[in-house]
Copies of this chain bind each other. A is one copy, B any other.
Amino acid sequence: MSEVVNKAAAARQASYGLSKLDTEAKNAALNAVADALWEHRETLMEANQRDLEAADGMLQKGEITGAMIKRMALNTSKVQGIVDMVKSVASLNDPVGKTEYARELDEGLDLFRVTSPLGVVAVIFESRPDALVQIASLCLKSGNSVLLKGGSEARHSNRKLYTIIKEATGDLPDGWIQIMEVRDEVTKLLELDAYVDLIIPRGSNEFVRYIQNNTRIPVLGHADGVCHIYVDSEADLDMAVKVCLDAKIQYPSVCNAVDTILVHEDIAKGFIAPMVETLLDKAVEVRGGEQVLEIIKEGVKAATDDDWGHEYLDYIVALKIVPDADEAITHINGYGSHHTDAILTGNAETAVYFIDSVDSANVFWNASTRFADGYRYGLGSEVGISTGKIHARGPSGLEGLTIYRYILRGDGHIVADYVGDGAKKYTHRSIDEKW
């Protein structure tokens, strides 16, 4: 058996014990992790320093960017932030063991639907060391074993973090946290659907798509975040310029930044000139459709077919004029990635029509697409944003790491009594009882 199979099997075994832990035990473990991280901050920063030294060489070879190094670097204040984050996870409500509903099937035969952990979650994440701690904390809180694979450029930091967490949680079922350090392990992991219940890939579109295309294990996440804003004929144009600018430049390299702005033809002349001026002023490249170029040529590039449905992750935006909301909806459902799309309008009827017609995880009315985020939604902490429609959709927090099970408590009840002549009848009555 290869090593990753052993790790996954151990994680599965540990998951049976982990799912039984009560909230106090999980919170005690989280607080022990927080304390240990602070206690070992010096050796942690030493390990991080080794990664940073190696990264310098990678930077010169162009294998890594300066921004990546900046995200990777730890200092005392960043460690404090990580410690605070772990404590904040301890303070979240326990998502496990909640009775979603209780129903009497017949006298003395009571059904409970109770939330439970998934079991084993595998997370492949970017090169921010705090990602490892965040994911491990959320899995612990939700009673899941976790298999972690971070970027190889942060391997010393990740190994140290893993060791600190593992040692601080010695009271938990052995094997609940596992680290993978070789890319080959991920390839093998993709086959282990007997041991792994969910994969959460965080990384480039290509990487997420590779994972989705090569495993039978359910995947939570999104490959593309192609976001649209439709500026309706009844939009407030000042608001529209402000919201579109925020959606584009507040943080252009993330999935919920806007990529294509669709403009109703009736307001195109009044909107496009100030919008383009504002965008160019902020050094955003504007790619306009044919009709846009008829209105304004200066500074605007011609959009090609490749621009529709393109996720830029950069200071670039595409601009297109549409005859009506229906055309905007068709464009969005056809070219979009079902992540986040917005309408700007003062007309409530048009807004509702748009919202009911756009098949996306997040549909906004008069607000920036950048609000699509677990923190902003108040979910506590986010494990990912899902564009799938199964299980969890949109920003997903602890709830995305749980499922439910049915518990039936009887007194020797048998099905034969409810069948045929003189059959007993089910009462199917809601009861106010917790499991």
Segment at the B interface, from A35-43, A180-188, A305-313, A414-422: A414-422
- A393 close to chain B: CB less than 8 A: yes
Interface size, chain A (Cβ < 8 Å): 73
Query: B residues within 8 A CB of A111?
Result: 377-378
Cα distance A158–B368 when bound, in Å?
49
Instruction: Name the CB-closest residue of B to A251.
Output: B415
- Which residues, 336 to 355 on A, are CB-close (under 8 Å) to B? 344, 351, 355
The 9 closest A-B pairs by CB, nearest first: A367-B410, A246-B414, A378-B428, A239-B412, A370-B415, A391-B391, A218-B390, A390-B391, A364-B408
Query: B residues within 8 A CB of A407?
Result: 355, 362-365
- A20 close to chain B: CB less than 8 A: yes
Instruction: Report yes or no: B357 in contact with A16, Cβ–Cβ below 8 A.
Output: yes
Instruction: Report yes or no: A366 in contact with B412, Cβ–Cβ below 8 A.
Output: yes
Instruction: Report yes or no: A415 in contact with B368, Cβ–Cβ below 8 A.
Output: yes
- A5 close to chain B: CB less than 8 A: no
Instruction: Report yes or no: B333 in contact with A103, Cβ–Cβ below 8 A.
Output: no
- Chain A, 395-411, contact with B by CB distance < 8 Å: what is the 0/1 string? 10000000111111111
Cα distance A393–B402 when bound, in Å?
11
Query: B residues within 8 A CB of A15?
Result: 359
- Smallest CB–CB gap between A247 and chain B, Å? 8
Cα distance A357–B116 when bound, in Å?
11
Most buried by B among A15, A105, A212, A414: A414
Cα distance A370–B415 when bound, in Å?
6
Instruction: Report yes or no: B406 in contact with A365, Cβ–Cβ below 8 A.
Output: no
- A260 close to chain B: CB less than 8 A: no
Instruction: Report yes or no: A359 in contact with B415, Cβ–Cβ below 8 A.
Output: no
- Smallest CB–CB gap between A195 and chain B, Å? 12
Instruction: Report yes or no: A413 in contact with B371, Cβ–Cβ below 8 A.
Output: yes
Instruction: Report yes or no: B416 in contact with A250, Cβ–Cβ below 8 A.
Output: yes
Query: B residues within 8 A CB of A243?
Result: 412-414
30 contacts between A and B (CB under 8 A): A16-B357, A16-B359, A105-B377, A111-B377, A118-B390, A119-B389, A197-B389, A198-B389, A218-B218, A218-B388, A242-B412, A245-B414, A246-B414, A246-B416, A251-B415, A355-B407, A361-B406, A364-B409, A364-B410, A366-B410, A367-B408, A367-B412, A368-B414, A371-B415, A376-B415, A389-B403, A390-B391, A391-B391, A393-B404, A394-B404
Query: B residues within 8 A CB of A236?
Result: 412
- A426 close to chain B: CB less than 8 A: yes
A362 touches which of B245, B408, B428 (Cβ 8 Å)? B408
Cα distance A368–B415 when bound, in Å?
7
Known A103-B378, A428-B378; contact A250-B414, beta-carbon cutoff 8 A? yes
Query: B residues within 8 A CB of A426?
Result: 376, 378
Instruction: Report yes or no: B359 in contact with A119, Cβ–Cβ below 8 A.
Output: yes
Cα distance A245–B414 when bound, in Å?
9
Instruction: Name the CB-closest residue of B to A113.
Output: B394
Instruction: Report yes or no: B378 in contact with A408, Cβ–Cβ below 8 A.
Output: no
Instruction: Name the CB-closest residue of B to A412.
Output: B239
- Which residues, 372 to 395 on A, are CB-close (under 8 Å) to B? 372, 376-378, 388-391, 393-395
- Smallest CB–CB gap between A433 and chain B, Å? 14
Query: B residues within 8 A CB of A408?
Result: 362-365, 367, 371-372
Instruction: Report yes or no: B367 in contact with A405, Cβ–Cβ below 8 A.
Output: no
- A73 close to chain B: CB less than 8 A: no
